[in-house]
A = this chain, B = another copy of it.
Amino acid sequence: MTQSWLDNGKRSVVALTFDVDAETGVLSMGEAYAEHAMTMTHQAFGPDVGVPRILGILQELEVPATFYFPGWVAERRPGLVERVAEAGHEIAHHSYSHVPASSMTADEERRDFERALQVFKDIGVPVYGHRAGLWEASWRTASLVAEYGLLYDSSMMNDDRPYRVPTDKGEIVELPPHWSLDDWEQYAFLPAPQIGTVMENPLNVLSMWKHELDAMRRHQCLFMLTNHPFLTGRPGRAEALRSLIEYGKSCGDVDFLSCRQVAERARGDEALASRPLMKPDTEQGLFPAS
């Protein structure tokens, strides 16, 4: 059976994704930040105020989204994952602790991966895809995703269309994100840990993302938007997101899909590239050690 990831007559797909990192977004940079009360409340805003606000906007605009939860966050906010799922959105695996897999041993990564799976199993929501904390996957991650029967990963940046990844445990689909469609480097600012510089005007971010969507419609790409409720849950940013979605809907040639829907379409699309993921072979002494 052959099919296309892009429906007949459509020119782009928008996948709205929300990484509900909450406190793990900072704790994964150092446990000591737990002492920073303002920082912790800054992160708690995400699940506690941002998520309900974003759910409201998605409901008003009738578009689906995918919410990536670290297992730790799902555990500490009982009922939150269920509430998002009941609103009709997809729940996805965003590690347990949000600690970068690229900094873990193989065993540590596996344990963290399994622990998050168990959290979702205990809650009783199915998960179909994975995204590494900070997108910092290891070279082993795709194989883990395949081994545990998930359909897709969304951490790698070597394309702007879905592609297939062969692994020793079978093939998965990669749904590539990119920093330029992330609210992190546009909006994040904290003194400890020191994050961000200037916080961008949401109207400028809206202009940039509308331009990107237009360009992706021209080039038939996947508009993989990654937002964080602790950032985009703020009113001015949430309203900019609303305007972006309204713009996408008005184009007429854009599909709004969950990641699972994109991955299922992509799995059967033989025209998509197959890109194995391999660590570059670096000659001894060619590059500096630091």
Contacts and interface: CB of A to CB of B under 8 A. Distances in A.
Contact of A38 (B157, B192, B201): B157
A134 B191 contact: yes
A185 B199 contact: yes
Contacts of A263: none
B186 A198 contact: yes
Interface in A104-124: none
A63 interface: no
A245 B229 CA distance: 29
5 nearest interchain CB pairs? A215-B235, A41-B158, A212-B236, A201-B208, A31-B287
B160 A235 contact: yes
Nearest to A134: B191
A66 interface: no
A156 B37 contact: yes
A238 B211 contact: no
A200 B234 CA distance: 21
A187 interface: yes
Total copies of this chain within the assembly = 4
Given A187-B180, A282-B34, A211 B236 contact: yes
A126 interface: no
Interface residues of A, number: 88
A216 interface: yes
Interface string A271-284: 00001010110100
A198 B201 contact: no
Interface in A11-41: 23-24, 27-32, 34-38, 40-41
B277 A41 contact: yes
B42 A234 contact: no
A97 interface: yes
B102 A159 contact: no
Interface in A29-82: 29-32, 34-38, 40-42, 44-45, 48-49, 53, 72, 76
A77 to B, nearest CB: 12
Central interface residue in A53, A134, A196, A282, by most chain B CB within 10 Å: A282
Contact of A27 (B76, B208, B277, B280): B280
B179 A279 contact: no
